[in-house]
Amino acid sequence: MSLLELEQLNLRHGLLEAVRDFTLSVGEGETVALVGANGAGKTTLLRAIAGAHRPSGGRIRFDGADVTRVPAFRRVQMGIALVPEGRRLFGALTVEENLLVAAQPRRPGRWTVDSVIEAFPMLARLRNQRAATLSGGEQQAAAIGRALITNPRLLLLDEVSLGLAPLAVEDVYRSLASVLAEGATVVLVEQDLTRAAAVADRVVCMLEGRIVLEGAAGELSREQMTQAYFGLKGAREVEA
């Protein structure tokens, strides 16, 4: 059953068409990775799903309900949570305070401050440390935890590994694996093709606001994804 349905979605930045006639369904419990070069429309698409960018056309359905015009705070209450590019934590607040802000109010569920810190053990010693003093990887863990504490049905992750050192990426993805293992529904934007294919059930490659390649992660070769990523000849064929 589809939890998220995007139907002929069009998104603009002024006169610029960022996403064009975009149609995609995400099943409950599925992890979908969106990959593509800068400017492909990935971040704009996640923001639209979260309610932070209004479509110029098309429809967004969540659990069967049309949420195209539903404001962002209502979507959080319905179970949609976005971890934005750049983390955007409250720098003057501690890790725990950042988590508590998102917990008021929150949907019922298993995610609390304690369970988030259990899933992201790097945060345990940082619980009372200001967010502005954390490393990039620590901030990313706190940002994911802040989204989880709302107990979302759909988790949107934008550029998880961007700007992080390799060891920090490993730490974040190691903790994220436990979240995915519980059957979370995730749409993930990731610049690392290998990493995206390793964690996702399905990979969707975007180019100039459109899907140019789509398929089960285990069935797409790195060559196919690379060709689609850069818009090389022969890449514009969507896999069945």
Tens of pLDDT, residue by residue over 50-65, are: 999 999 999 999 999 9
Length of the chain: 240
Tens of pLDDT, residues 86-107: 778 988 999 999 999 888 777 8
Q: Closest by alpha carbon to 109, among 61, 167, 150, 62?
A: 150
CATH code, 2-230: 3.40.50.300
Give the pLDDT confidence score for residue 79 in this predicted structure: 95
Looking at residue 123, its pLDDT comes to 92
Distance CA 21, CA 10 (A): 5
pTM score over 0.85? yes
In the structure, what pLDDT confidence band is assigned to residue 161 with cuts at 50, 70 and 90?
Answer: confident
Lowest mean pLDDT among 20-29, 115-124, 215-224, 227-236: 227-236
Determine the pLDDT at residue 237. Answer: 47
Mean pLDDT, rounded, of the chain? 90
CA distance 155 to 171: 19
pLDDT at residue 240, as a whole number: 40
Question: What is the predicted pLDDT for the residue at 108?
Answer: 85
Paired tokens of 46: 């996640």
pLDDT at 233: 57
Question: Contact at 8 Å (CB) between 215 and 239?
Answer: yes
Rounded distance between C-alpha atoms, residue 46 and residue 238, angstroms: 21
Q: Could you tell me the CA-to-CA distances from 113 to 92, 102, 119, 125, 220 in Å, in that order?
A: 18, 10, 10, 13, 38
pLDDT at position 236: 44
Helix, strand, coil percentages for the chain (3-state, nearest 5): 35, 30, 35
